[in-house]
Amino acid sequence: MTTATHTTIHIFVEVTKTDKRKLEFDRTEVTGKEIKEKATVPLDTDLARRTEGQLVLVTNDQTVAIKNGDHFVVLPPGTIS
């Protein structure tokens, strides 16, 4: 008998400079839409992953691998092309 290990991944979503939300997911792959829904931000906003000082756009239907401590930023629609 095997037991599944329960994984909890904590990520951070910066909605504004003063509003940073810590989210929990129980798997290592999520979509941009799932991150926005859990952060309770509008689906038409831009979501970007902060990677090595750069912002990389994550679309609603894009699946991304997440790990503990990942940072995402919510921006007005059309900010990142």
Indicate whether 48 belongs to any domain. yes
Indicate whether 81 belongs to any domain. no
Q: CA 68, 43, 52: angle at the middle one, nearest 5?
A: 35
Given this model, what pLDDT does residue 7 score? 82
Query: pLDDT tens across 38-68, in order?
Result: 999 999 999 999 999 899 999 999 999 999 9
CATH number at residue 29: 3.10.20.90
Which residue range forms the structural domain that includes residue 30?
9-75
d(CA 32, CA 61): 6
pTM as predicted? 0.90
Is the pLDDT score of 31 beyond 90? yes
d(CA 27, CA 61): 17
Is the pLDDT score of 4 beyond 60? no
Is the pLDDT score of 2 beyond 70? no
